[in-house]
């Protein structure tokens, strides 16, 4: 039995935003846990200093460490701000991916994408990695370029077929993110 899904999809601003946040915070498995750990250490250092549990003079790089930890407290807000700025800038560009419509054909051979100007095919073996996130399937053709399929534009059966195809053909290169 040939498995095949054909879907016409449009990259919305909301989908692009979710892709951007995924790229920054969750694509690499270690980014979020290490970021949280670093943030907790930074909070502990700053609070300990402010409550007088240690002075910065007690350690060789104490003052540097304290100010570094203070700066780290602002890093998540900076990253969110930069991600939002990126989404805004991409949305304002003339030749943007936001609003772009394309037809995707997903089958046992791979993924074919069609736009007005032509089509491109990607065999499963050529795809770098794939992810199923809350609202989309993302299949990376390059380090920072992904084919996105909005799950809101799929039936449950189509989503199940795409997931099964990706698992069968990509193996460990495909990850389902449950949160």
Print pLDDT tens along the chain (179 aa). 678 999 988 888 888 888 888 887 777 777 777 888 888 888 888 888 888 877 766 666 777 888 888 898 998 898 889 888 988 887 787 766 777 788 999 999 999 998 877 889 999 999 999 999 988 999 999 887 888 898 988 999 999 999 999 999 999 999 998 76
d(C-alpha 15, C-alpha 21), whole Å: 10
What is the β-pairing status of strands 4-10 and 101-107? Answer: antiparallel
- What's phi and psi for 25, nearest 5 deg? -105, -30
d(C-alpha 94, C-alpha 100), whole Å: 11
Record the pTM: 0.75
What pLDDT, on a 0 to 100 scale, did the predictor assign at position 1?
61
Half-sphere exposure in the Cβ direction for 26 (13 Å, CA): 16
């Amino acid at each position: 039995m040939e498995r095949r899904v054909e879907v016409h999809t449009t990259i919305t601003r909301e989908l692009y935003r979710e892709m951007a946040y995924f790229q920054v915070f969750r694509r690499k498995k270690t980014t979020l846990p290490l970021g949280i750990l670093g943030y907790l250490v930074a909070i502990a250092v700053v609070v300990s200093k402010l409550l007088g549990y240690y002075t910065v003079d007690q350690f060789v790089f104490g003052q540097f460490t304290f100010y570094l930890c203070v700066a780290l407290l602002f890093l998540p807000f900076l990253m969110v701000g930069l991600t939002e700025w990126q989404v805004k800038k991409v949305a304002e560009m003339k030749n943007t991916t936001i609003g772009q419509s394309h037809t995707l054909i997903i089958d046992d051979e791979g993924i074919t994408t069609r736009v007005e100007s032509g089509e491109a095919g990607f065999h499963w073996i050529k795809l770098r990695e794939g992810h199923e996130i809350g609202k989309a399937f993302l299949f990376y053709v390059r380090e920072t370029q992904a084919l996105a399929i909005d799950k809101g534009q799929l039936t449950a059966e189509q989503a199940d077929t795409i997931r099964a195809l990706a698992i069968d053909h990509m193996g460990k290169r495909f990850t389902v993110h449950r949160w």
